[in-house]
Amino acid sequence: MKELPLKYGCNPNQKPARLYMPDGSDLPLQVLNGNPGYINCLDALNSWQLVRALRRATNTPAAASFKHVSPAGAAIGEPLSDVEKQMYFQQDADLSPLATAYVRARGADRLCSYGDWAALSDVCDESTARVLKHEVSDGVIAPGYTDEALAILKTKRHGGYTILQMDPNYEPSLVERRTIFGVGFEQRYNDSVIDESFLQKIVTKNTDLPDTAKRDMLIAQITLKYTQSNSVCYVKNGQTIGVGAGQQSRIHCTRLAGDKADIWWLRHNPKVLNLPFLDEINKTGRDNAIDVYISPEHDDVLADGQWQQLFTERPEVLTEEEKKDWIAKQTDLVLGSDAFFPFGDNIERAYKSGVKYVVQPGGSIRDDNVIEAANDHDMVMCFTGLRLFHH
């Protein structure tokens, strides 16, 4: 296929819109179902690069959940604990590694993943398709689909779910071009391969970097490579748990991503896990109610006349003191940044969310201040020397 007409551009008034190869060759993807739009394809191509890189770096199936050209979550297929199965509404599911990767990616920030674009590093199997079937999602990209998986996915959205198949052998030109306001831009494609060779320069007093932390550092850096800058992410146990994207200030990225990591951890709290939802409240309703329940506005779901619409009985309040104490139990997180941290305040904020390991390019005139902050908290910090801005 030389050209793919799209539903519309970024907005419905931006027509016509299309995908095409500037050199006249065939497109590296095909539409198996649905009618993709411009933003769908931006999400698809960015998310595909992310999961492909994660797969190559970890030798494990990987998945991403994208919204507006940045990941809400990304993960590899590590097994779920019983608590995680409950958190992600998968208590009764028998999941393949690829399905587990998507459940983790989606579970990093279930509120932001609503209506996501899913990316899968491996051929989509029936297990993964069954997970996708029950989530609100705009589309999926993968290198292939089993017959059973394709049949399941084609039933989504009344048969209109967008399914893209990517050529796993496709490699882009080393020169990429775009046009903005009629002006052409050209640069080298960012083909840097992120691996453990980038984790050799440890600049803190503490140099104890276990293999699990190295793996999570790679996940952080690869995720950030395909996240709109400025960007920061927190990673634990093979998945992102908080991504802060597109902020003008790095400390705002660190706060935003840290707040998301705190929310992810609060969802482990027994009071949250055991909220007595009515049977008819679906996943989306539960996600929204949980988000409000653990926020300072919890009265919005616990007020008289409101809780009866969600719960079989009125839940106990999760107090601010309880939340603070629970967050303090979070440990051993990785913090990654796409560019250097200009001040130690980023480290101080990250410490409050349980960060133990930090990976960043380094190169700030205040690196000594950032290193000192990390040393004060006995963190391990690597300088990669590789900036990962993405726009």
pLDDT digits (tens, 9 = 90+) for 1-25: 889 999 999 999 999 999 999 889 9
What 3-state DSSP class applies to 391? coil
Could you confirm whether 67 is annotated as catalytic?
Answer: yes
Q: Would you tell me how many other CB atoms lie within 10 Å of the CB of residue 92?
A: 6
The pLDDT value recorded for residue 314 is 94
Q: Where are the alpha helices (DSSP H) in 154-244?
A: 211-225
Per the residue annotation, which of 33, 40, 46, 67 is the catalytic one?
A: 67
pTM score, whole prediction: 0.95
CA nearest neighbour of 230 among 339, 335, 336:
339
The pLDDT value recorded for residue 300 is 85
What 3-state DSSP class applies to 170? coil
Per the residue annotation, which of 33, 46, 230, 346 is the catalytic one?
A: 230
Q: Beta-strand (E) ranges in 144-193? A: 162-166, 175-180, 183-188
Per the residue annotation, which of 68, 133, 154, 377 is the catalytic one?
A: 68
Decide the pairing of beta strands 355-360 and 380-383: parallel
* Alpha-carbon span 119 to 225, nearest angstrom: 16
Calculate the CA dihedral of residues 203, 204, 208, 209 and round it to 10 degrees.
Answer: -50
What 3-state DSSP class applies to 240? strand
Query: CA 232 → CA 67, 266, 307, 389, distances in Å?
Result: 16, 20, 36, 11
The pLDDT value recorded for residue 93 is 79
Could you confirm whether 391 is annotated as catalytic?
Answer: yes
Identify the DSSP state of 228.
Answer: P
Decide: 39 and 10 in contact? Cβ < 8 Å: yes
Could you confirm whether 230 is annotated as catalytic?
Answer: yes
Decide: 347 and 377 in contact? Cβ < 8 Å: yes
* Alpha-carbon span 264 to 106, nearest angstrom: 11
- Domains of the chain in sequence order: 3-166 (3.40.140.20), 192-266+327-383 (3.40.140.20), 274-317 (1.10.287)
Q: What residues in the chain have per-residue pLDDT under 70?
A: none
CA nearest neighbour of 344 among 365, 363, 372:
372
